[in-house]
Amino acid sequence: SILVTTQKYNMLPTAIRSNVTLLISFLLNDLDWDLIYTQIVREEWKNFKNILKLVFDKENNFLIYRVDKNKFFKNFNTLPLN
């Protein structure tokens, strides 16, 4: 396992982005969310946007996304998917 930290997701090399298995993120800009969605998220765009709204309803909340299981967490709490 390798832990990588960055302030801009789009600045990571493609080889790293394409092998992400777990993403932990605070609120990002729209460009980064679009890139994350197109490259790793296995959920409908509308659902993903709703998840982001739900997670980032308060300052300092963060999103955890388990790519291998397509599971989302608000902070450490599992979010049910429809």
pLDDT in tens, 16-46: 988 999 999 999 999 999 999 999 999 999 9
The whole-number pLDDT of residue 82 equals 59
Q: Coil, strand or helix: which one is 60?
A: coil
Residue 43 is given by DSSP the state S
Total residues found in the chain within this entry? 82
Buried b (16+ CB within 10 A) or exposed e, 14-36: eeebeebeebebeebeeebbebb
Quick check: 77 pLDDT over 90? Answer: yes
The model's pTM is 0.90
- Residue 58 — pLDDT band, cuts 50, 70, 90? very high
